[in-house]
């Protein structure tokens, strides 16, 4: 399996909410406290990388 395919699989599973247990309905990124504009896999893939970078950088430094 290629590295880009592994990266896509990792993004998908880290955006996929748990189905049961103490972290039910929370994805791993949310459990870690990662603030993303959305935790939806397809929306993240369709977002322009420069726009996403801009959103994340302004979110980290509110001024």
> What confidence score (pLDDT) does residue 26 get?
92
How confident is the model over 3-17, as a mean pLDDT?
A: 93
Domain ranges in the chain are 3-60
The yes-or-no verdict on residue 62 having pLDDT over 80 is no
pLDDT tens sequence across 14-58: 999 999 999 899 999 999 988 888 889 999 999 998 998 888 888
> What confidence score (pLDDT) does residue 28 get?
93
What DSSP string describes the chain? --HHHHHHHHHHHHHSPBSSSTTBT--HHHHTT---S---HHHHHHS-HHHHHHHHHHHHS--
Q: Which residue has the higher pLDDT, 56 or 60?
A: 56
């Amino acid at each position: 399996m290629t590295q880009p395919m592994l990266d896509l699989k990792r993004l998908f599973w880290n955006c996929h909410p748990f189905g049961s247990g103490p972290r039910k309905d929370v994805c791993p990124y949310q459990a870690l406290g990662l603030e993303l504009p959305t935790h939806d896999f397809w929306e993240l893939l369709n977002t322009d990388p420069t726009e996403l970078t801009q959103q994340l950088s302004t979110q980290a430094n509110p001024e």
